[in-house]
Amino acid sequence: MSGMTYDDAAAERLEAVYRCADMIAQRRETLRRLSLEPGELVLDIGSGPGFLCQEMADIVGPSGAVRGVDISADMVRRAVTRNDRDWLSYVEGDAQALPCEAGAFDAVVSTQVAEYVPDIARFCAETCRVLRPGGRGLILATDWETVAWHSEDPARMRRVLDAFRPHCADPVLPRTLVPRLRQAGLQVTDVGVFTIINTAWDEASYSRHAAPFIAAYVRSEASLPEAELEAWQAELEALGMAGRYWFTSCRLIFEIARPG
């Protein structure tokens, strides 16, 4: 995997992102598109803190099973700690070599993970391998160049976003993902978009929680002066207080199927 590592502090910041209203809405859209049924076997590739896995487990029930796979041992530990469902399990593993049997799952989901995988061909091949014939899946990935974040210092905003760009392996992956999925033997049955729009700097907004996450990464790489990062964050808060805040991001949703 690429770019991001998760110590306790980074994991806390990531969990704050997952808990905000925008991410709750994203999970609802993911579940709507997956249309899971009781008794189904589901795999979440890159399960992170496990929030989506918990909701999927509630749908498939004890007659089914959900497994979360994540490369971060800390994320797996956190997800295991909060799990109280016997039919939900987590395991540490790489999306490029999933610790799962071939054809084991009715459905596979992966949100905000594919763009972090260095070998996307392996990711697609592994996704196909673990799906049963006739199984389906959903992959959600951000085109990071679609981010539109208002600033009265656009040059500084561009410097911050450029410094954040290396946090994933392919920041514009959605533009080339369809042929890669097809090359792996999967059908792409639909492509949709989940758009995040924030007009306020508040606890409900994705960007409010993403900003410190971005700043922490850029700070860890020492790619911008600390004073510039502080000024960037201060401006976002000021724009929010003045009623001039704006953020948008497009997340592409790829619905897939393994031919039966």
- pLDDT tens sequence across 119-165: 999 999 999 999 999 999 999 999 999 999 999 999 999 999 999 99
- pLDDT tens sequence across 190-228: 999 999 999 999 999 999 999 998 999 999 999 899 999
For residues 75 and 11, the answer to whether their CB atoms sit within 8 Å is: yes
- In this structure, the number of other CB atoms found within 10 A of the CB of residue 163 comes to 20
- pLDDT tens sequence across 83-125: 999 999 999 999 999 999 999 999 999 999 999 999 999 999 9
For residues 217 and 170, the answer to whether their CB atoms sit within 8 Å is: no
Q: Give the burial string for 10-36 (b: 16+ CB within 10 Å, else e).
A: bbebbbbbbebebbeebbebbbebbeb
- Output 102 or 18, whichever has higher pLDDT: 102
Q: What is the pTM of this model?
A: 0.93
Q: Compute φ and ψ for 50, nearest 5 degrees.
A: 90, 10
| Short-list 151, 120, 62, 214, CA closest to 110 | 120
Q: How is domain 8-143+168-195+250-257 classified at the CATH fold level?
A: Rossmann fold (3.40.50)
- pLDDT tens sequence across 57-84: 999 999 999 999 999 999 999 999 999 9
Looking at residue 3, what is its pLDDT?
Answer: 42
Please give the average per-residue pLDDT across 230-251, as a whole number: 97
Looking at residue 2, what is its pLDDT?
Answer: 44
For residues 108 and 137, the answer to whether their CB atoms sit within 8 Å is: yes
- DSSP string spanning 60-107? H-TTSEEEEEES-HHHHHHHHHH---TTEEEEE-BTTB-SS-TT-EEE
- Output 18 or 23, whichever has higher pLDDT: 23
C-alpha to C-alpha distance for 38 and 61, rounded to whole angstroms: 6
- DSSP string spanning 206-256? HHHHHHHHHHHHHHHHT-S-HHHHHHHHHHHHHHHHTT---EEEEEEEEEE
Domain ranges of the chain: 8-143+168-195+250-257
